[in-house]
Structure 1
Amino acid sequence: MDHPIALTGGPGSGKTTVINCLQALGYATTPEVGRRIIQAQIESNGSALPWQDKTAFRDLMLQAEIKHYESSVSQTPPVFCDRGVIDVYGYSLLEQLTLTTPLIQSCQQLQYHHRVFIFPPWASIFMNDAERKQDFSEAVATYDAMISAYHTFGYELIEVPQQSPDQRAHFILDMLKSA
């Protein structure tokens, strides 16, 4: 488990809640960058928002995900990441953005654990807020884009069952023990 462990999926599927559970259990984690970028852009009246300038938003996410990756490899493993560099590739697929050389190279060079945990769309827990403006159908499309993105780079996707956050965290830990 020397490589960071990515948790991915569509918005509103419970990733961040499970990351918080893993952190409470004493594991190192990295937060989701998209939400933080949206908050910072709103605060500064910036336009690098997914509903204004998708390319600028994507490029800021890539920069932030690279920093998170670099900080995670210097921590004692395992480190659980709320998304990763490959998610930026998936976002590009979803939004039909140009796949840039720096993005592709980052996806190839920054390696995550071979098992990636994907959270399926879950209508009963999905909700919008100030940063999450997608509807449920967009959450499903995002999930599909993440499957495509992670498969493109050869990762094994493990679907996290729709259970309580604590049960989901322990499912992930159990699956890593058997890897």
Structure 2
Amino acid sequence: MNRRILISGCSSGGKSTLLEELGKRGFATVPEPGRRIVAEEKAGVGAALPWFNPEAFARRAMEMARSDLIMAERETGLIFFDRGLVDAAVGLQTASGSCVRDTIGTHRHYDRTVFLAPPWPEIFVQDEDRRHGIKAAVQEFEQLNSSLQDLGYEVVMLPKVTVQERADFVLQRVGGE
């Protein structure tokens, strides 16, 4: 049996760093679909980059997140996801107007408890692959928080502490330590 734990939230909120720490501690992790898609698109045609075609990007993220969930079925124990299907559905809603519930249904694809990284302006970084600013990241956070609650998840805000303390916090909440 496995437990799929979603870590969602604000861009540049420390999610990937947290997943890296959980991986170092021996837990299975699934990297963020968006970053993988950007890397693939930059190496190829680039038609689904979020700054060129947000809807195509979101649709690719949906496909990848669904594939990640299927692959995770082979794992046992705790599996931590850096973003996932809900994040992609929120992105698709923003890009196309499609309703999150209509896109992914009402079935919960992850454990009931979801961890949400709040806006953290002190660590926010724009880069070649993350071209949007903090304002867009905050809007994204608000949409994710609302959608997760609407889908019946228990949203737990990640504290703004060291990565080790964040990992301890998450593991204590899910019974992983």
TM-score of Structure 1 vs Structure 2, range by shorter chain: over 0.9
Equivalent position SS for 2:62: helix
Q: Percent identity?
A: 29
Unaligned runs of 5+ in 1: none
- Does residue 1:16 correspond to 2:16, yes or no? yes
Aligned to 2:49: 49
Give the TM-score taking structure 1 as reference length: 0.91
Offset of residue 87 of structure 1: 0.9
Of the three residues 145, 149, 174, the one matched with 1:151 is 149
Shift of 1:3: 3.0
Task: Please name the residue that 1:139 is paired with.
Answer: 137
Is the contact made by 2:159 and 2:166 (CA closer than 8 Å) also made in structure 1? yes
| 1:53 Cα deviation from its structure 2 partner | 1.1
Q: How large is the Cα RMSD of the aligned pairs?
A: 1.9
What per-residue deviation string (whole Å, max 9, x for no partner) do you get for residues 52-79 of structure 1? 1111111100010001111112201100
Q: CA deviation at 1:162?
A: 0.1
Cα drift, residue 100 of structure 1: 7.8
Cα deviation for residue 18 of structure 1 reads: 0.2
Unaligned runs of 5+ in 2: none
What's the TM-score once normalised by structure 2's chain length?
0.92
Q: Quote the Cα distance in structure 1 between the aligned partners of 2:97 and 2:59.
A: 11
The number of residue pairs the alignment matches comes to 176
Q: After the TM superposition, which residues 1-179 of structure 1 pair with which residues of structure 2 at under 5 Å, given as runs?
A: 2-99=2-99, 103-105=103-105, 108-109=106-107, 111-177=109-175
Q: Return closer, same or farther for 1:114/1:42 CA change in 2, 3 Å cut-off.
A: same
Question: Which runs of at least 4 in structure 1 moved beyond 4 Å after TM superposition?
Answer: none
